[in-house]
Structure 1
Amino acid sequence: MMPLWQRPIDLEAINAVHQGTLMEALGIEITRITDTALFGTLPVDARTRQPHGLLHGGASVALAETLGSVAANLAAPPGWMAAGMEISASHLKSVRHGRILGCARPLHLGRNTQVWEIRLEDEAETTVCVCRLTVLLRERSSSSAP
């Protein structure tokens, strides 16, 4: 069986790439990578709440897409990159404070596409959102970002 990750795993380097981006602005952090999954967190605070004081659904989707995209790129063959095609989210429970933990796991790793399931949980380990991300694999051009 081929290993899931096709690139070196360096959490510090992965998080450093997110400086100056939406991920940094929202406080998203990749926290752990195992043999079969990628994990990250999102704070529930003034940056990520909607006017009613609840976690904004868009912030949940931003976390899910970040985790799925990072995972997809780490799982892509050398010389290839993953680009998001579609994401869906089912918001199951509201959250007012704390941190959200997300876990991305592959459902399909094909030659041209990958499908990832991303589950988001609150600090009580209750599932608050389930997302599915589909990405397209394409050869990395010399002008593509890392």
Structure 2
Amino acid sequence: MRKKIQKLLNELNDLQKNTLINKMQIQFISLSPKLDTLIAKMPINHDIFQPFGYLHGGATMILAESVGSSISFINIKNEKKDNFNVFGIEISANHVRSIKKGILFAKAQIFHKGNTLHFIQVHVYDEKKNIISFCKLTNVIIILKK
């Protein structure tokens, strides 16, 4: 099972080349054996600050949507479906704490997995496990015709 998990994490990290995920230096670091929880990390630096020197809420949203969409991708791929796309169609966040430095983590959990829609909860937190943002993401799964 560990080899399968590591293979999936490697695939996610390889898919990010030449994407915004790569630009934001997001790395997928942990996947649960049930494939229902995915954790990613992102370094905080001046490139993703708002004008007052704190992490921009939009950067937090990029991290949340990246990890949330990726957990849907992993689950659909695991169901052996070919030719599909995952699109985030709604995301919301409550930013509860500001941060200026360190590493940001995002833990995405699927709390509804339908054939067409996935509902994902994402907790964004710092290295001390202080919550930064609570996010909710809705993904639509589009199966492409061959």
Tell me if both proteins adopt one fold, taking TM over 0.5 as the criterion: yes
Higher helix share: 2
Task: Give the match for residue 55 of structure 2.
Answer: 55
**Structure 1: gaps spanning 5 or more residues:** 1-6
User: For residues 2-21 of structure 1, what are the structure 2 equivalents within 5 Å?
Assistant: 9-21=7-19
User: For residues 33-72 of structure 1, what are the structure 2 equivalents within 5 Å?
Assistant: 33-35=31-33, 36-72=36-72
Deviations 1:43-94 (A, max 9, x none): 1102221121111100000000000000011112412332111000110000
In 1, distance between residues paired with 2:16 and 2:32?
A: 20
In 1, distance between residues paired with 2:122 and 2:7?
A: 19
Establish whether residue 136 from structure 1 lines up as the match of residue 120 from structure 2: no
Whether the 8 Å CA contact 2:8–2:74 is kept in 1: the answer is no
Identity of aligned residues (%): 26
- What is the number of equivalent residue pairs in this alignment? 136
In 2, distance between residues paired with 1:71 and 1:108?
A: 12
In 2, distance between residues paired with 1:139 and 1:9?
A: 23
Task: Give the match for residue 110 of structure 1.
Answer: 114
Establish whether residue 126 from structure 1 lines up as the match of residue 126 from structure 2: no
Q: TM-score, length-normalised on structure 2? A: 0.86
In 1, distance between residues paired with 2:46 and 2:100?
A: 10
Task: Give the match for residue 91 of structure 2.
Answer: 87
In 2, distance between residues paired with 1:65 and 1:16?
A: 17
Task: Give the AA of the match of 1:71.
Answer: I
Match of 2:89, SS state, is strand
In 1, distance between residues paired with 2:55 and 2:6?
A: 33
Task: Give the match for residue 97 of structure 1.
Answer: 101
**Structure 2: gaps spanning 5 or more residues:** none
In 2, distance between residues paired with 1:32 and 1:134?
A: 21
Cα root mean square deviation, aligned: 1.7
Task: Give the AA of the match of 1:13.
Answer: E
- What is the CA-CA distance between 1:19 and the residue it aligns to? 1.2
In 2, distance between residues paired with 1:133 and 1:27?
A: 21
